[in-house]
Amino acid sequence: MREEFRLLIGLQDIDVMIKEAKDKSTSKELQEMGFQLTGLEELQKARKKIADKIPPSLLNRYEKLADHFTVAILPVPGNMCLGCFVKLPTSFFSSAYSHELLTCENCGRLLYIP
Amino acid sequence: MESGKLASFFEEDLCLFSLRSRKKNSVLQEMVRHLNKTGRISDEQFIMEMLKNRESLGSTGLGMGVAFPHGRSLAIQKLTVLFGYSSSGIDFGALDGKPVNIFFLILAPSDKGAETYLALLSELIGVIQKPDKLNKLMKVRDFKSLTEILDGKE
């Protein structure tokens, strides 16, 4: 897998965690269970470390999508986008594209073939 | 979550009754490596990074010798639980400062909502808050006994 895909996926995992920690209902639930969520700053630092390694144009594209969707980048294990469940065109799976980061024509999410 | 269904989230080959690691990161690595070997995750490194980041948010060692490392990632396809036991106990930075013997590692896909694992987490925490169940869990050494304790049959 290309390094920039790996960086985006790592970034997304942190973003999902940050969203949970900032979400009032989820963080309340976790705190009621006994978890302390005091290290948000540490998490932001880890995020920055990854984000700094991603080319700015790609990071910008990811961040715009991440504002709209919980998951902005997804693998394509079958023949459809798992974000919007729309079938992808056959041309999408051409081997020429298999190492590229692709875009779902319907929802715009970033897709990769694992 | 339906009562008596807690054990259905556990699988025999995902129960490690003799963890060998002695340190926080190495015990996480040992459990994640097992998930990888058994084909439950698609990428060990993503899961390790995610779990280490989760620990930096706050230790998932809630005290009483139990920790609940957890999180969501693209590298997991479905809600998965691994049970781990360490007889010597591991310094996991738990809230009460005591070593952790029991680990419930819970992973959920990031494209599903947090509710997919929060309910399970809550149920499991409810179990360890019962002193008699916690005492039994500290002695459990086989899958059948584990599931009986979780479902209240023991």
Residue B3 has pLDDT above 80, yes or no: no
Q: Domain B14-150 is in which class?
A: alpha beta
- Using alpha carbons, list the distances in angstroms from residue B72 to A10, A95, B91, B118, B119: 11, 30, 24, 11, 14
Instruction: Give me chain B's average pLDDT, please.
Output: 93
Considering only CB atoms, which chain A residues are within 8 Å of B54?
17
**A113: pLDDT confidence band, cut at 50, 70 and 90?**
confident
- Average pLDDT of span A48-72: 94
Q: What residue segments make up the domains of chain B, in order of their start? A: 14-150
Q: Which residue has the tokens 């294990």?
A: A77
Calpha distance B112→B91 (Å, rounded): 32
pLDDT value for A91: 76
Using the beta-carbon criterion (under 8 Å), do A71 and B111 form an inter-chain contact? Answer: yes
Domains and CATH numbers, chain A: 3-112 (1.10.287.1490)
Residue A94 has pLDDT above 80, yes or no: no
Return the residue in B51, B62, B74 with the most chain A beta carbons within 10 A, the one to mutate for interface testing.
B74
pLDDT in tens, A41-56: 999 999 999 999 999 9
- Average pLDDT of span A65-77: 90
Using the beta-carbon criterion (under 8 Å), do B74 and A30 form an inter-chain contact? Answer: no
**A96: pLDDT confidence band, cut at 50, 70 and 90?**
low
A102 versus A40: the higher-pLDDT residue is A40
